């Protein structure tokens, strides 16, 4: 395989391209990661340099290649029952919610789907097959295709309670040894959609709970605040916004109250119930 060198100017252009598309500014220190991921596409397309590749993906006819480049540059690490405190918190909350309408939840950067499926297991524990759905979205089409299949290596479920693994997942056999499959009745409860959080949101409804975990860390402070303000328009009064443990909204003047580290509640606006 040919290894293509990237100039500093080309690196900056790749960084700017990805920032314009995703809102995330990659550090130039990630040069080897960026090249490692894109080099394979230059080879596949027989393109000689990054400059040419950038020109190629900017052409409307090559939108699919552009999406592939975006997919390759996103960081998608995730697993089932990640950051258990959030699920424990919701477990307590849902116990007192049981009689009411099941909450509307959006997992807004769901990667390959482990987060919304963990949430759907928790929802099922409390609300069973009553009418409820979880919206799960991501920028990466590649991740969404994986999520839609609902097949995962068992190693991604190390943190998942054993009882949930048995109840909600099928164990793979033969070729699928070492894999799990999400049960059909649970898969039906999650709707996957491609949504770019850096663009106007194609949503009309509001949610009781929005998960926005482990994606803000890549946004600069301005883009971060802009995104939170947009998301707030889709969060009901007293609804919850849940961020990753290493993320915070410190220094922003927002109608949100921290009720636990990384769990925020929206203030009820005038005229809202």
Ligand X SMILES: C[S@@+](CC[C@H](N)C(=O)[O-])C[C@H]1O[C@@H](n2cnc3c(N)ncnc32)[C@H](O)[C@@H]1O
Least spacing, CB of residue 220 vs ligand X, in Å: 13
Least spacing, CB of residue 116 vs ligand X, in Å: 9
The CA distance from 245 to 257, in Å, is 16
| For helices 8-22 and 50-58, angle between their N-to-C axes, nearest 10 degrees | 30
The stretch near ligand X (CB under 6 A) out of 77-85, 121-129, 172-180, 232-240 is: 77-85
Contact flag: residue 113 with ligand X (CB under 6 A): no
Least spacing, CB of residue 257 vs ligand X, in Å: 22
Q: Tell me how far CA of residue 86 lies from CA of 105, 185, 200, 245, in angstroms.
A: 13, 24, 28, 9
Least spacing, CB of residue 199 vs ligand X, in Å: 8
Residue number, 39 or 140, with CB nearest to ligand X: 140
What SS3 state is found at 191? strand
Chain positions 206 to 245 lying near ligand X, rule: CB under 6 A, are 213-215, 244
According to CB under 6 A, which one of 54, 104, 111, 239 is a site residue for ligand X? 111
Residue number, 82 or 224, with CB nearest to ligand X: 82
135 membership: H or E segment, kind and range = strand 134-138
The stretch near ligand X (CB under 6 A) out of 19-27, 89-97, 157-165, 179-187 is: 19-27
The CA distance from 159 to 10, in Å, is 41
What string marks each residue from 163 to 202 as x (binds ligand X by CB under 6 A) or -?
---------------------------------xxx----
According to CB under 6 A, which one of 39, 78, 187, 262 is a site residue for ligand X? 78
Contacts 24+ apart (CB under 8 A), 253-260: 254/225, 254/228, 254/229, 256/228, 256/232, 260/85, 260/89
Residue number, 47 or 154, with CB nearest to ligand X: 154
Least spacing, CB of residue 168 vs ligand X, in Å: 18
According to CB under 6 A, which one of 34, 90, 139, 169 is a site residue for ligand X? 139
The stretch near ligand X (CB under 6 A) out of 118-126, 139-147, 252-260, 262-270 is: 139-147
Contact flag: residue 68 with ligand X (CB under 6 A): no
Contact flag: residue 19 with ligand X (CB under 6 A): no
The CA distance from 184 to 53, in Å, is 41
The CA distance from 253 to 76, in Å, is 29
128 and 155 Cβ atoms separated by less than 8 Å = no
CB contact set of 184 (below 8 Å; sequence gap of 6+): none
What SS3 state is found at 237? strand
Q: What phi and psi values does residue 237 have, to the nearest 5 degrees?
A: -55, 135
Contact flag: residue 118 with ligand X (CB under 6 A): no
Residues that bind ligand X (CB under 6 A): 22-24, 74-78, 82, 109-111, 115, 138-140, 143, 196-198, 213-215, 244
């Amino acid at each position: 395989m040919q290894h293509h060198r990237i100039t500093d100017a080309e690196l900056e252009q790749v960084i700017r391209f990805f920032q314009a598309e995703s809102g995330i500014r990659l550090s130039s220190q990630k040069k080897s990661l960026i090249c490692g991921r894109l080099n394979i596409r230059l080879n596949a397309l027989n393109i000689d340099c990054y400059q040419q590749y950038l020109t190629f993906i900017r052409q409307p006819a090559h939108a699919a290649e552009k999406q592939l480049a975006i997919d390759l540059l996103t960081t998608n690490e995730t697993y089932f029952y990640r950051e258990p405190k959030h699920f424990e918190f919701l477990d307590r909350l849902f116990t007192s919610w049981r009689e009411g309408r099941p909450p509307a939840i959006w997992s807004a950067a769901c990667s390959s789907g482990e987060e919304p499926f963990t949430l759907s297991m928790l929802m099922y524990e409390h609300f069973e097959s009553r009418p409820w759905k979880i919206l799960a979205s991501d920028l990466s089409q590649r991740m969404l295709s994986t999520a839609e299949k609902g097949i995962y290596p068992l190693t991604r479920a190390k943190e998942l309670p054993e009882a949930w693994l048995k109840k909600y997942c099928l164990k793979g056999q033969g070729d699928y040894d070492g894999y799990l499959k999400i049960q059909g009745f649970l898969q039906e409860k999650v709707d996957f959609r491609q949504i770019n959080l850096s663009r106007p949101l194609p949503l009309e409804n509001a949610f009781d709970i929005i998960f926005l975990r482990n994606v803000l860390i890549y946004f600069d402070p301005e883009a971060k605040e802009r995104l939170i303000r947009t998301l707030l328009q889709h969060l009901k009064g007293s609804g919850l916004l849940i961020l990753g443990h290493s993320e915070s909204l410190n220094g922003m003047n927002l109608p949100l109250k921290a009720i636990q580290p990384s769990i925020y509640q929206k203030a009820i606006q005038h005229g809202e119930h």
